[in-house]
Structure 1
């Protein structure tokens, strides 16, 4: 059966730009220029005969067509990557495949990964950024990092850390926007929501705990990915309620700030865990990664304690 498909390069450009809501970040991921990303997406829109983005002054927003296509394309590229990996002739004794959600991967793991590579140059790391369940017992990945309640069956699990829901925003929002000194001031600001985390860490829960009962907890855009809410906060689109660890690097660099005291953050129920097969615990590449990751997580705990 012949498939009528647009150029693969254009689809890759759209999928990366849609995940990041940024042509510049998509360009950095794919190793091209932002102009090339813009050109590919324009060509895709011409091929489809429909726009995929609303191009705002300082931000991008997906159209309905773009929103509908993104999860299918992301899953498709994940499967293509899995297929290509399985076609490789090498057995990959020193290739470590880490399955991780895109949000945790981009916001916490990848910025620290160079430290692992410097410590273990003999191990080649492959990051499989996906939210779908993988079977580490049959070799789909060597290890997996997942967010949940713990108690995982069929795998060895190590708790990395839990998080606290904390509001973050761009420092430019504090300089140029309405006053933002106490939680009640959020009445004049846009709230950025992380949809999948609202069961345990919603703006409604946080505002009630902070005593800001006059602020509408449901106003503002909703994002299915935490990294999208962080991106919107970086672009001064509003105040995001995110896990403190997911914003840690941006907070340390000053690209994001906490508008309120850290005491106003609220604990989240779930935690991040490292999962690995029971029968492969002593494999050098798995043991090395596990020991390094636990040390990184413990170091983060110490840094958090020092700043509170």
Structure 2
């Protein structure tokens, strides 16, 4: 048995057949005839000196050798494909692929994108709105905008301002609930998308910061922040809104912040890309625009009392 690797075409044929557990489906994927694919696998077996498939009447099964070989070939071709896509992206200075959460995209990014598009007509933006943690290299994504705590090891990451939350409601509801104490009787809306924060940044924490002994349990719960904000705009109730999610509705008068007490979390939105990619013109342009846009509306914090959740007592005296 030779230590030399078999031909790449033979390994590719094996990987596809092992993934599909079908010579016919693998041949279709690789755009070859089943006979040609079978020949490639046979040559791999001759090179290895043992079979990698049991050929049954209407199916195939991996042998012990095939089961040992399959994970490595799959990972190897995944890595090759990722490297090829990454190399191709280096030649593309006109397309920028960005991933961000659905709520940030809907409430903050989308309403502002015309500004970036006007300043950079040479860049075509492509968005993937998902909360799934992507692999920038494997998934062909240039930039990720993510919210949370912790570090982004091995990546270029720059954090935006700390985030705060504050009660927001329609002006009509604000007339009905004019004091923090009156909110104990208000219909409260719960944004469940930030339950992962530690310490929590939620209604019980806000009431404790306000010196009110109240642990709300009833109300409408939303898994997406933008849905909770939309419900507040519709007058359904009062939501503890995150700054970037509420800013457009507040500035345009659909929502108001009648109480000047906000609670702050150490979690941040971060601009993330592969290490070294931050110098590429299209990525640097979007980073600079992203950070500048945040600063444009920093004045919304003026006049607020902002208390970090770490400084809020566990109980109201």
Q: TM-score range by the shorter chain?
A: 0.5 to 0.7
Work out which of the residue numbers 272, 286, 289 in structure 2 matches 1:289.
Answer: 286
Note the C-alpha offset of 1:307: 5.8
**Partner secondary structure for residue 136 of structure 1:** coil
Question: Equivalent residue for 2:94?
Answer: 94
1:146-225 equivalences under 5 Å are 146-175=146-175, 179-198=176-195, 199=197, 200-213=200-213, 215-225=214-224
For 1:299 and 1:242, locate their aligned partners in 2 and report how far apart those are by CA, in whole Å: 19
| 1:300 maps to 2:276 | no
Q: Structure 1: 5+ residue runs without aligned partners?
A: 1-85
How far apart, CA to CA, are the structure 2 residues paired with 1:268 and 1:106? Answer: 22
Q: For residues 206-261 of structure 1, what are the alpha-carbon distances to aligned partners after superposition, in whole Å with 9 as ceiling and x for unaligned?
A: 11111222x44121011111001101101111100121221011000000011212
Distance in 1, Cα, partners of 2:293 & 2:150:
20
Task: Tell me if structure 2 keeps the 8 A contact 1:134–1:140.
Answer: no
The answer as to whether partners of 2:104 and 2:244 remain within 8 angstroms in 1 is no
**Offset at 1:154?**
2.1
SS in 1 for 2:246: helix
Matches within 5 A, 1:43-122: 92-122=92-122
**Aligned twin of 2:4:** none
Distance 1:173 1:145 in 2: 33
In 2, are the aligned partners of 1:166 and 1:243 still within 8 Å (CA)? yes
Report if the CA contact (8 A) 1:143-1:276 is conserved: yes
TM-score (norm 1): 0.65
Alignment root-mean-square deviation, CA: 2.1
What is the alpha-carbon distance in structure 2 between the residues aligned to residue 307 and residue 249 of structure 1? 18
Moved over 6 A (4+): none
The structure with the larger Rg is 2
**Equivalent residue number for residue 137 of structure 1:** 137
Q: What does 1:245-256 correspond to in 2, within 5 Å?
A: 245-256=244-255
Q: Which residue of 1 aligns with 2:240?
A: 241
**Structure 2 residues without counterparts, runs of 5 or longer:** 1-84, 305-317
Normalised TM-score (structure 2): 0.63
Q: 1:281 and 1:294 mapped to 2: Cα distance?
A: 14
Q: Number of matched residues?
A: 214
Q: Which range moves more in the overlay, 138-147 or 95-104?
A: 138-147
Shift in Å, 1:293: 1.0
Whole-Å separation in 2 of the counterparts to 1:181 and 1:172: 10
